[in-house]
Structures are given as structure tokens and as C-alpha cells.
Amino acid sequence: MRIAITGGIGSGKSYVCRMLEQRGIKIYDCDAAAKRLMRTSGSLQRQLKELVGEDVYSADGVLQKCVLAEFLLASEANKVALNNVVHPAVAVDYEASGIEWLESAILFESGFDRRVHFDHIVCVTASRNVRIQRIVQRDSISAERAAEWIDAQMPQEEVEQHSDFVITNDGVSDLQLQIDRMLRQLQPAE
């Protein structure tokens, strides 16, 4: 069974994934895989240079995150083009991993849900204000910049509509209880 966990930036999906990992569930991290592949895959690096420009990598081959972020936020077309380069490589890597669970912030926007079949999709949610606070704290950026990142992603309500399970990670709701309930429902009927 393949299960995807998604949720916008700052929703706390990585925190929920760590809780699942503490229960012995191995989870493939799309963000970490994309970063690893952008560092190590020669073919992906060539495609990124063609798409974004040679300056996306420094002279010594280090990915320039600020150049990539500027390209990504410049237009919807840039976001789609970038996803169409990075996510097919990540999908191939995920399928080769043999891991059942996957974490992806942009599961639907990236088309990842169309590249790989998932039996269930879990959405982790939090209010916009909570998400902004988390991003500001984690990334040391302004609230305005955090809001830009949120707005660059699919609306949380839309992600929820495409999901089989919704876990509310607002700092108040009981996460363990919600995870227990989800895991029970995922168990095959006897």
C-alpha cells in the first residue's frame, strides 16, 4: 500500500511524519530527495541550468537556492516548468526506494499524484496564522515572505478535498489520537 502525506508549508506535516517514524513507519521525504538529486544527479543539474540559467549552480557546483527561489516565485509558468523537471526524477527515485509512505508538500501541484499511484492521501492542516508563525520561526523570514510561500501553493482547502484523511496540527488538537484513528482505518479488514 502506498500512502502520501501532504500539507502546505508550515502545516507541520514533517512533525507528523516524525511521529509516524517513531512508530516504526519509514517515510520517503520528497524535499530531501529533491535536494539530494539536485546535488548529485548530473542530468537533473543540466536540465536545471537549461531552465533557470547557469547561475543556478555556483562555479564549484553548489545549488544557489536564492536563484532557484527567485525563479520559482517569478511566475506560475516557472513553477510548473521547475516541477516538470524535478518531480519526474523524484518519482523515479521514490518508486525505486520500495518505501510505502511518502511526504510531499506539493503532491498535487507537482503532478506527483499523477506520476505515482497512491492508495491513500493524508493532508496535515493548520490555520494560516499558525503556518505563518511556524515559517517565520523556522526560516527567520518576514511574515510577508512566509505568506508569499503559502500563497504560491495550492489552497489548503483544495488539498483537503483531494485527501482521504485530514490531520489537524494546530498545536491544540490531539495529534496522537488523530494518528491512531488514521492507522486503525488503514489496517486491512480481517
Question: In which element (H, E) is residue 77 found?
Answer: helix 76-97
Q: Which three cell numbers stand for residue 163?
A: 485527501
What are 34-73's pLDDT values in tens digits? 999 999 999 999 999 999 999 999 999 899 999 999 998 8
Question: In which element (H, E) is residue 102 found?
Answer: strand 101-103
Tell me the three state secondary structure of residue 8: coil
In whole angstroms, what separates CA 106 from the centre of its chain?
Answer: 5
What are 139-170's pLDDT values in tens digits? 999 999 999 989 988 999 999 999 999 999 99
Res 24: pLDDT: 96
- pTM, two decimal places: 0.84
pLDDT band at 189 (very low <50, low <70, confident <90, very high): low
- Quick check: 99 pLDDT over 80? yes
Q: Which three cell numbers stand for residue 132?
A: 505563518
